[in-house]
Chain A
Amino acid sequence: MDTNLIWIFVSALLINNFTLTYFLGLCPFLGVSSRLETAFRLGLANIFVMLITAICSYALNTWVLPFAPYLRLISFIIVIASSVQFVEIALKKFSPELFKALGIFLPLITTNCAILGLALFSTNKGYGFVEGIVYALGAGGGVTLALVLLAGIREETRLTNVPKLIEGTAFNLIVAGIISMAFMGFAGLFSA
């Protein structure tokens, strides 16, 4: 049981990294990675939203979807987005510090494909409540890791002579591809 949880975590963090292996959530990955600090905060917000997603999708999957399987996609999207909004309002009231750190990013990523992907993957794989939480932590951590790595590189390359031809998104995509190539080394980790 315990090794299984560790495997789920490492698998979501490194082997099947949401950003670098599944290529989910690329818009915030490319859009908010120009500065390290904002990238890190976006990553934290991602972990936060993914935890809420894990809870919501588990609840939906256990109590609602058996009766109405055709509502799967739409209920995931609506329930996740609205519960994140609720949490955001609560956060603003009870913890202004945390709201300041994560606030602006929360609405940005609630409707992200990585979030929906997490809900769909974890229900497809039949994860229970604890496994779903661990999976969300690993996936969020993986997204944060990818964001921080790319932001670090992008800050460094601000001072270099990247050719005008590929500056901007093209360059960032190539860099993301290179990091993703390096992550291929984790393929098959702990599977033997």
Chain B
Amino acid sequence: MLKNILSISTSPYLKDKDTTPWLMFQVVYSLIPVVFVAFYYFGISALITTVMAVFSCLFAEWLFDPTGNRGWSIKNGSALITGMLLALTLPPGFPLWMTFIGGFVAIGMGKAIWGGLGQNIFNPALLGRAFLQAAFPTAITTWSSPNGDLLAFRGTNLALPFFQGESIDVVSGATPLSKMKFDRETTDLSDLLFGNTSGSLGETCGVLLILIAIYFMVRKIINWRIPLSMVISVTVFSGIAYLINPEVYPSPVFMILSGGFLLGAVYMATDLVTSPLTPKGVWIYGIGIGILIVLIRNWGGLPEGVMYAILLMNSATPLINRYTKIRTYGH
């Protein structure tokens, strides 16, 4: 009886309704339109890649559950997000067995060995993709163009395990970034905005990602400072390079709309676990990512650098946290 009247607890007493699963599922719902756009442009292979990545992430999460009560940590939805994000960073014609390995590594190496959700240093989805990029460099840079055929598989989707597979596509299209890098050829702004270019599944449609970013910032689901500082630093640094030599270096607008920049800025860099804690630290983090993106894209050997930029800044996050501690009042 006494229990019902008297509730004894420690601070904090004012609580928000936000819980981890609530937050995670907000992100999952926001990813559904992105997956649908990917389906619209890349057909059934977008869906099947997403399903496979989600399945392998959930499987790894179930297998490596730290609580000893298998299936408990699946319910917070973080593995679901990792799987969807991983799928959205992969090319449409990526072999499914490689996708499975990527998802397994993303959860196993990105989260389980660190002790589970909230304790990892690196973004799991990007870690899985970096692993795939290191292990299968050819498959992950073979892009198929959107051709409006919804029910056809792309590229080497159906390759047997441990085989490279024969490509189903007749032509494979270069992404806007590699066209820029290797042929100095720009892509139409409207194609970049609406996603009618080849590229990874979820990164092509700029408008949708910008809308999601605005929604997230208004709802305070992501820290608005991270995308803003990334956009500012990419604009400034690529703008300087563009002003010096517009023949060689792409314009800031192209830098922001092409490749994985928007997807990374909205979903990966803003990962609550792997981004710094203080406002000052977050600015340093975002600006650092922007500098690294411009560095790798403009002067690096690879056309795309968003993934590496975010992973590198993730590895510096403990140091940033350490040196941007907020002074407690009275100290």
Contacts and interface: CB of A to CB of B under 8 A. Distances in A.
Interface of A: 36, 148-149, 152-153, 155-157, 160-163, 166, 171, 174-175, 178-179, 181-192
Contact of B112 (A163, A185, A189): A163
Nearest to A161: B115
B121 A157 contact: yes
A185 B296 contact: yes
A190 B299 contact: yes
A190 B297 CA distance: 11
A175 B311 CA distance: 12
Minimum-distance CB pairs A-B, first 5:
A188-B301, A185-B308, A161-B115, A160-B119, A152-B318
5 contacts: A153-B315, A161-B66, A174-B113, A185-B305, A187-B301
Nearest to B133: A184
Contacts of B119: 157, 160-161
B139 interface: no
B300 interface: yes
A124 B225 CA distance: 48
Nearest to A179: B315
Contact of A189 (B300, B309, B316, B318): B300
Nearest to B248: A192
A178 B318 contact: no
A155 B322 CA distance: 10
Contacts of A183: 312
A35 B127 CA distance: 25
Contact of A187 (B300, B312, B316): B300
B109 interface: yes
Nearest to A183: B312
Given A153-B121, A184-B308, A166 B113 contact: yes
B54 interface: no
Contact of A182 (B112, B116, B312): B312
Contact of B131 (A152, A153, A181, A192): A181
A182 B130 contact: yes
B63 interface: no
B21 to A, nearest CB: 20
Contacts of B130: 181-182, 184
Contact of B319 (A152, A185, A186): A152
Contacts of A148: 319
B300 A186 contact: yes
Interface string B114-147: 1110010110000100110110000000000000
Contacts of B316: 149, 152
B308 A160 contact: no
Contacts of A175: 121
Interface string B204-240: 0000000000000000000000000000000000000
A192 B319 contact: no
Contacts of A162: 113-115
Nearest to A159: B119
Contacts of B315: 149, 152-153, 178-179, 182
A188 B299 CA distance: 8
B307 interface: yes
Nearest to A187: B301
A57 B322 CA distance: 39
A191 B318 contact: no
Given A149-B315, A189-B296, A190-B299, 10 more contacts: A149-B319, A156-B121, A160-B114, A161-B66, A162-B114, A175-B121, A182-B312, A184-B134, A185-B296, A187-B301
A178 B109 contact: yes
Contacts of B300: 185-189
A163 B66 contact: yes
B32 interface: no
Given A157-B121, A171-B113, A185-B296, A191 B319 contact: no
A152 B322 contact: yes
Nearest to B116: A161
A187 B302 contact: yes
B295 interface: yes
A155 B314 CA distance: 15
Contacts of A166: 113
Interface in B139-196: none
A100 B275 CA distance: 36
B81 to A, nearest CB: 20
A155 B302 CA distance: 32
Contacts of B292: 185
Nearest to B137: A184
A129 to B, nearest CB: 28
